[in-house]
A and B are shown apart, each in its own frame.
Chain A
Amino acid sequence: MLVKTKFFNEVEVDGDEIVTFVEGIPGFKDLKRYALIKQEDVLDFSYLQSVEDVGVCFILVPPAILVGNYDIEISDDTVKKLDIEKPEDVELYVILTIPEDIRAMTANLKAPILINRKNNKAVQEILQDDAYSITHRVIKEGDASC
């Protein structure tokens, strides 16, 4: 299907790249359907573009490119909601927040996006674990090189 996007023009998206957030995303409860648009040319960027509101688009990255070991526990509630059968069916992303000063960008490690690729049901899971921050600095101050 053709999806209007915030950052590009219309993009043709396969049906199996449309994911359904069963409860919406906190702050956007009414929007359920999103297109997962992968940008694999450089790094593992993906865009999570709302099919229902062109102005809503999240930028996602796999947590592995930000932190070494990102071990999380998926709640029983989410396992049920997404009908998860095997952990390997689940794709994991975190949302980037990119301010005007790009170098100050942060990633929300506290509330990752989980997608069950078997049925494309998704949630934003808020972790019980206090080890992860909502605003994890992606570029550490001090390793500025330019």
Chain B
Amino acid sequence: MLVLTRKSNESILIGDDIEIVIVEVSEDKVKIGINAPRSTKIFRKELLKQVEDENIKSTAPGNINISELKDIIKK
């Protein structure tokens, strides 16, 4: 992994069209600005993990009582 040291208001370019700006540095937080084309997906890494975990949870039940489920939703 490439590790660079930057100060507030300095930035990093990735490829031709992605810019990462260090907006603010405080004690244990860094505020980051990102300029990137709209087609670039950007999200916090833990979000993908949360979606994975939720997907695994949603397929977990061995048997769902489908008719009970329908009754509840119908209301």
Contacts and interface: CB of A to CB of B under 8 A. Distances in A.
B70 A43 contact: yes
B57 to A, nearest CB: 5
A2 B56 CA distance: 25
A119 interface: no
Contact of A59 (B56, B64, B72): B64
A58 B59 contact: yes
30 contacts: A7-B64, A26-B48, A27-B55, A27-B56, A28-B55, A28-B56, A42-B70, A43-B70, A43-B73, A55-B59, A58-B58, A75-B38, A75-B41, A76-B38, A77-B39, A77-B41, A95-B55, A97-B57, A102-B72, A105-B69, A108-B51, A110-B51, A124-B51, A124-B55, A126-B47, A126-B48, A126-B51, A128-B42, A128-B43, A134-B50
Interface of A: 7, 25-28, 42-43, 45, 55-59, 75-77, 80, 95-100, 102-103, 105, 108, 110-111, 124, 126, 128, 134-135, 138-139, 145
